[in-house]
Structure 1
Amino acid sequence: MSVDRVEEAESADTAEAVTTAALTYYPIAPGVRLNVRSGPGTSYPVVKVLPEGAKVPIYCQTPGTTVAGPYGTTNIWDNIADSQFVSDSYVRTGSDGYIAPRCA
């Protein structure tokens, strides 16, 4: 392996470690069992339900269906895993706006 390829691999490993280490989990609203959908809107199928007291990572955020929840009314949806989204109105992020990059 060339020096350049070794440096690229080390750089990718470091970036992955930093991303993983910096991942924050946010609590969903108390007393709520939250639907997780396959896309950023209420028209997408429910793929699972989070139990009360769950905490979720937010990898990216995207606009979608507007939802009113315990933390306000918003069209922001949080990507918590591959093809898994929850309305930001049920996640305590401490902000009314975007707190993560926009989903690509």
Structure 2
Amino acid sequence: MSVDQSRDIAGGDGKAAAQAVTTAAATASSYPVAPGYRLNVRSGPGTGYSVVRTLPEGSRVAINCQTPGTWVTGPYGASNIWDNIGSGQYVSDAYIRTGSDGYVAPRC
């Protein structure tokens, strides 16, 4: 199959296929917050930092990087890993289902 045929199958210019791949990648790199929890987002990697917002139940987060902070015990065990989900926004990894007890993203 030629490149031109691939474009025809994807909808003419390939934009639909590229968009589908981008959406799939974004979904694969986001992680669910533990079911039944509204999660505090803090300004730094620890419980001593101020709450900047609260994630509603059923939220998913994209983890930019991870850093050690205060220990927290949550539904996924005890952890001192904090996930950066935005500029000045951190959540405890003990409430995020990453499928790992360790780091799943680069260190901040």
Tell me the TM-score normalized by structure 2: 0.75
In the alignment, the residues of structure 1 paired with residue 97 and residue 49 of structure 2 have an alpha-carbon distance, to the nearest angstrom, of: 22
What are the ranges of 5 or more consecutive residues in structure 1 without an aligned counterpart? 1-20
**Ranges of 4+ aligned residues in structure 1 off by more than 3 Å:** none
Q: Report the Cα offset of residue 63 of structure 1.
A: 0.1
Matched, 1:100 2:93: no
Aligned to 2:64: 59
Say which of 8, 33, 58 aligns to 1:28: 33
Does the residue aligned with 1:89 lie in a helix, a strand or coil?
Answer: helix
CA RMSD for the aligned pairs? Answer: 0.8
Q: Report the Cα offset of residue 101 of structure 1.
A: 0.3
Count residues with an aligned counterpart. 83
In the alignment, the residues of structure 2 paired with residue 83 and residue 47 of structure 1 have an alpha-carbon distance, to the nearest angstrom, of: 9
Say which of 64, 79, 85 aligns to 1:80: 85
Does the residue aligned with 2:94 lie in a helix, a strand or coil?
Answer: helix
In the alignment, the residues of structure 2 paired with residue 50 and residue 92 of structure 1 have an alpha-carbon distance, to the nearest angstrom, of: 15
**CA deviation profile, 1:41-88 (whole Å, cap 9, x unmatched):** 000000000000000000000000000000010000000001100000
What are the ranges of 5 or more consecutive residues in structure 2 without an aligned counterpart? 1-21
